[in-house]
Amino acid sequence: MNIKILGAFAAVALLAACADQTTETKGAGQTHSIVPGSQEDLVANVGDRVFYDLNRSTLRADGKATLDKQAAWLKQYGSNNVQIAGNCDERGTTEYNLALGQRRANAAASYLKAKGVAAARMTTISYGKDRPTAMGSNEQAWAQNRNATTSVR
Amino acid sequence: MIHLPSATLRRRDMMVAAASSLIVAARPEPVRAQALRPLAGGGGGAGQSAVIDVDKARVEPIPIAIPDIGGPDGASSQLGRDISGVIRADLARSGLFRVIDPAAYIQSGPSRGDTPNFQNWRPTGAQALVTGKTEAQGGGGVRVEFRLWDILPQAQIQGTAYTTTQSNWRRIAHIMADVIYERLLGEKGYFDTRVVYIGATGPKDRRTKRLAIMDQDSENNRFLTDGSWLVLTPRFHPTRDQIAFMSYANNRPRVYLFDLGSGRQTVLGDFNGMTFAPRFGPDGGSVVMAVINGGGSDIVVTDVGGRGPHKLTDSGAIDVSPCFSPDGRQIAFASDRGGDQQIYVMDAGGGGAKRISFGSGKYATPVWSPRGDLIAFTRYGGDESDFSIGVMRPDGSGERILSTGWLVEGPTFAPNGRVLMFWKETRGQGARGAGFTSRLYSVDITGFNERVVPTPTDASDPAWSPLPA
C-alpha cells in the first residue's frame, strides 16, 4: 500500500518534470514514463522496501521475494550503489530501536550479498524510530514503519 | 560561614562556525560568592527551626517568605524584584517549599537586608525568611547581598554576597535558591543547572531535530545545531563543559562531543559501525557507549579523546544504553540477550553481568542516580500498552513506577537524585498522526509533583547537568 502511494507521488513528480522518457510503467492507473535504473524505477517496478514483524529482524517470505527482485535489478544496473536504511515503529525506545533498525538493514544487505550483490555497492544505516513513512499511531502504520528501505545513492 | 562554590569559568563569547551551522558559545558566566558578616538575630527567639532533614520522612512543604529584594535605585530594585521572583518560582516548583503569597506580608516594600523585625513575619506562617539588597556596579556588574533567616529562633542561617554581570542575574537567583534548599533541607539543590535536549519541529515523518540547551527553569533556551542533520541523545560531561550526543552528520551516525566553550563538534573515536547511546564516566575522562558490530551492538568504553576503545560486552545480542554507577565501579545497560530487553549490571571492566529487572514487560534506558541508590528506567510492553518511567534499587528490588503514559521515555536525574526529567509523547490520531506532541516532564522520585517542563518546540531526550564544581 505504501509502495503504491510512493509510486503515485513519483508519478506526479515525473509527469511535471520529465518529457523525454523511454519506458512506460503503470502507476495509480496513469500512463507515464520512468527512467530505467532510477530510484523511481526501483520503487515502482521492483519494490524499495521489505517489512519486518514486531521486534524482529528476520526476513519474511515476502521480503525475500522483494530482495530477489532487487538483486536482479542491481545486476541489471551494475553502476547503481545503494543505501539500505533500517527503520522501526514508534513503540520502542530510541536507543534500542537504533540497534534494531541496524539489524534490519544488515539482514537485507546480507541477503542481497548472498544473491550476488557486491558488498562494496551497499551501505547500511539505521534511523531507529526517527524516520517513519506512515505517520499514524496504529498497527497499520507501525507495520509500514518496520522496514528496510533501499535507495539509489 | 558557609563556603559557597565560586565558579572559575572564563567567559568566552566568540562565534564559531562548526559543521555548517553557526554556534554561539553557550557557557554560563561566573558568579563570585563572598560570606557576609553575620548579623545578630532579634534575640530571645524560641520555637521550631525551619531546618529539617528531608530524608527522615516525607515532609510538609516548608513555609517561606521571600519579599522582593530592594536596591538604592530603580534599576537595582527591578533586578531585585526579578531575582526574588526566580527564587520563589524555583522553590515553589520543587514542591518542598510553600512560598507565602507576598500579598500576605505585613511589612510592605522591599526588604533592606539588615536584621528583620521578626514580629512582622511570624503571623504570615512563614518559618524561613529571605532578605537582601542589590546594587549596580560599574561596568555592568551587580552585587547582591542575601540573608536567610530562621524566623522562630530568630537566627541568621546564611549570609552571602554575590557579584556577577547584570545579564547573569538569573544565575545568582538560582544559586541563592540552591543555598536556601540546602540549608533548610540538608541536601544540595539543583537550580543552578541546565538541561540539554533535542528540540523537534515539522511533521512526524520529516522531523527537524536540533540540539538545544536551557536553564532548568526553561529560560535562556538556545539551539546548538541548525537541524541540517538528525541529532539524538545528548548527555552532559561532569564539568558541564561538553555534551556527548549522536549526530547523523554526513550520513554517518556517530557519537560526537560538543564543546560548549567553542561550539566545536568532534567525532568520538574511529569506528566502522554506528556508535550511539553515549554517557560520560563519573571522572569525566571516559565515555561508555554502544557500537554496532555485525548483527549486534556491543558496549565499549573509550577515553574522551576517542583513544583506546575497549569492548566490554560481545554477546551478539543488542546491548545498549550503558550508564556508569556514580562510583565508577559498575555499568548498567539494557540487553535482549535473554530474549526480551532487560536491564543488567556488570563490572565497569566488563564481565559479571547480572540481570536486575524481572517485572512484566521490557526494561530499557537504565540511568544511575547520582546518589547511587536507585536506577531509573523505561518499561514498556506490547504496541498498544502504555510505557512507564520507574526506579529500582541497583539490585533490582523495590521497583516503583513514577509516571505512565502512551509513550514516556528516557529518565534523567537532577544532580541531587530527588527529581527525574523525561519526555512524554501523546498518541497521534488518524492516518497523519494529528495531535502528536512530545514534551518534557519532571517528577519527584516519590512519584509526586509531576509537571511539564516548558520548551519552545516539541522536545525529547532531556539530560540534566550536574551542579557546578
Name which of B198, B201, B204 to mutate to probe chain A: the one with the most chain A Cβ atoms within 10 A of its Cβ: B204
Chain B residues with beta carbon closer than 8 angstroms to that of A99: 276, 290, 292, 296-297, 318, 320
- Gap between the terminal Cα atoms of chain B: 19
Chain A residues with beta carbon closer than 8 angstroms to that of B334: 93, 95-96
Of B297, B380, B460, the CB nearest to A99: B297
Based on the structure, what is the number of domains in chain B?
Answer: 2
How open is the CA angle B30-B219-B255, to the nearest 5 degrees?
80
pTM of the model: 0.89
Quote the DSSP letter at residue B91: H
Which CATH number covers residue B60? 3.40.50.10070
Q: Tell me the domain boundaries of chain A.
A: 1-35, 47-152
pLDDT at B320: 98
Question: How many contacts (CB atoms, under 8 Å) link A and B?
Answer: 105
Mean pLDDT over B231-255 rounds to 97
Taking each continuous run of H as one helix and of E as one strand, the counts in chain B are 3, 32
Name which of A57, A83, A87, A94 to mutate to probe chain B: the one with the most chain B Cβ atoms within 10 A of its Cβ: A94
Of B295, B407, B427, the CB nearest to A103: B295
Cβ distance A102 to B232 less than 8 Å, yes or no, reads no
Whether residue B274 sits in one domain with residue B165? no
Whether residue B141 sits in one domain with residue B204? no
Closest CA in chain A for residue B248 = A127
Instruction: Record the cell numbers describing residue A76, joined without a space.
Output: 541489471
Other beta carbons within 10 angstroms of residue A116's beta carbon come to 10
Query: Mind telling me how many Å the CA of B309 is from chain A's nearest CA?
Result: 19
Other beta carbons within 10 angstroms of residue B469's beta carbon come to 10
Whether residue B134 sits in one domain with residue B96? yes
Indicate the residue among B163, B185, B207 that finishes a domain: B185
Whether residue B103 sits in one domain with residue B74? yes
Chain B residues with beta carbon closer than 8 angstroms to that of A132: 204-205
Tell me the CA distances in angstroms from B176 to B37, B63, B109, B189, B214, one per residue in order.
17, 17, 21, 10, 19
Whether residue B115 sits in one domain with residue B59? yes
Mean pLDDT over B64-88 rounds to 94
pLDDT of B42 above 80: no
pLDDT of B36 above 90: no
pLDDT in tens, B376-419: 999 998 667 899 999 999 999 999 999 999 999 999 999 999 99
Cβ distance A98 to B277 less than 8 Å, yes or no, reads yes
Of A93, A131, A133, the CB nearest to B365: A93
Query: Mind telling me how many Å the CA of B304 is from chain A's nearest CA?
Result: 21
Residues of chain A with pLDDT under 70: 1-31
Cβ distance A142 to B233 less than 8 Å, yes or no, reads no
In a domain, B243, yes or no: yes
Specify the CATH number for A47-152; select among 3.40.50.720, 2.40.50.100, 3.30.300.350, 3.30.1330.60. 3.30.1330.60
Is A143 at the interface with chain B, CB within 8 A? no
pLDDT at B114: 76
Decide: B324 and B312 in contact? Cβ < 8 Å: no
Whether residue B234 sits in one domain with residue B152? no
In a domain, B341, yes or no: yes
Alpha-carbon dihedral angle through residues A99, A105, A106, A112, given to the nearest 10 degrees = 170
Cβ distance B230 to A132 less than 8 Å, yes or no, reads no
pLDDT in tens, B137-190: 888 999 999 999 999 999 999 999 999 999 999 999 999 999 999 999 999 999
pLDDT of B19 above 60: no
Indicate the residue among B185, B220, B246 that finishes a domain: B185
Is A139 at the interface with chain B, CB within 8 A? yes
Query: Mind telling me how many Å the CA of B25 is from chain A's nearest CA?
Result: 28
B277 contacts: CB under 8 Å, gap ≥ 6: A95, A98, B233, B246, B289, B290, B320, B321, B322
Is A122 at the interface with chain B, CB within 8 A? no
Whether residue B344 sits in one domain with residue B272? yes
Mean pLDDT over B23-35 rounds to 74
Listed in order, strand segments (DSSP E) in B237-374 are 242-247, 254-259, 265-267, 275-280, 286-293, 296-303, 310-311, 319-324, 330-335, 342-347, 354-355, 362-368
The range of the structural domain enclosing residue B282 comes to 194-464
Query: Mind telling me how many Å the CA of B461 is from chain A's nearest CA?
Result: 9
* Strand-pair category, B32-35 with B155-165: antiparallel
User: Cell numbers 559498575 label which residue?
Assistant: B330
Residue B85, amino acid:
G
Decide: A96 and B320 in contact? Cβ < 8 Å: yes
- Angle between helix A94-114 and helix A61-76 axes, rounded to 10 deg: 60
Whether residue B328 sits in one domain with residue B447? yes
Residue B50's pLDDT band, with cuts at 50, 70 and 90, is confident
Query: Mind telling me how many Å the CA of B291 is from chain A's nearest CA?
Result: 9
Write the DSSP assignment of B209-244 as a string of letters. EEEEEEETTS-S-EE-S-SSS-EEEEEE-TTSSEEE
Query: Mind telling me how many Å the CA of B191 is from chain A's nearest CA?
Result: 28
Residue B308 backbone zone (phi > 0: left; psi -120 to 50: alpha; other: beta): left
- Average confidence score pLDDT of chain B: 89
Of A91, A95, A106, the CB nearest to B277: A95
In a domain, B4, yes or no: no
Query: What are the CB-based long-range contacts (under 8 Å, 24+) for A65-73?
Result: A67/A108, A67/A111, A67/A112, A67/A115, A68/A115, A70/A42, A70/A46, A70/A112, A70/A150, A71/A112, A71/A115, A71/A116, A71/A117, A73/A41, A73/A42, A73/A45, A73/A46
Euclidean distance between CA atoms B162 and B22, whole angstroms: 33
pLDDT of B23 above 80: no
* Strand-pair category, A122-128 with A82-87: parallel
pLDDT of B314 above 90: yes
In a domain, B11, yes or no: no
B242 contacts: CB under 8 Å, gap ≥ 6: B236, B257, B258, B259, B260, B280, B304
Cβ distance B383 to A99 less than 8 Å, yes or no, reads no
Is A96 at the interface with chain B, CB within 8 A? yes
In a domain, B20, yes or no: no
Euclidean distance between CA atoms B410 and B403, whole angstroms: 12
Euclidean distance between CA atoms B234 and B145, whole angstroms: 36
Chain A residues with beta carbon closer than 8 angstroms to that of B276: 95, 98-99
Whether residue B301 sits in one domain with residue B389? yes
Indicate the residue among B185, B216, B234 that finishes a domain: B185
pLDDT of B465 above 70: yes
- Gap between the terminal Cα atoms of chain A: 24
pLDDT in tens, B430-449: 778 888 999 999 999 999 99
Chain B residues with beta carbon closer than 8 angstroms to that of A130: 207, 209, 230, 232
Cβ distance A103 to B318 less than 8 Å, yes or no, reads yes
Instruction: Record the cell numbers describing residue B117, joined without a space.
Output: 523585625
Cβ distance A125 to B251 less than 8 Å, yes or no, reads yes
In a domain, B17, yes or no: no
A148 contacts: CB under 8 Å, gap ≥ 6: A49, A50, A52, A63, A84, A85, A86, A87, A104, A105, A107, A108
Residue B27's pLDDT band, with cuts at 50, 70 and 90, is confident
Query: Mind telling me how many Å the CA of B334 is from chain A's nearest CA?
Result: 8
Decide: B175 and B90 in contact? Cβ < 8 Å: no
pLDDT in tens, B334-391: 999 999 999 999 999 999 999 999 988 999 999 999 999 999 999 998 667 899 999 9
pLDDT at B7: 32
* Strand-pair category, B128-137 with B62-65: parallel
Decide: B255 and B276 in contact? Cβ < 8 Å: yes
Euclidean distance between CA atoms B305 and B307, whole angstroms: 5
In a domain, B310, yes or no: yes
pLDDT in tens, B92-143: 999 999 999 988 888 765 556 578 888 899 999 999 999 999 998 888 999 9
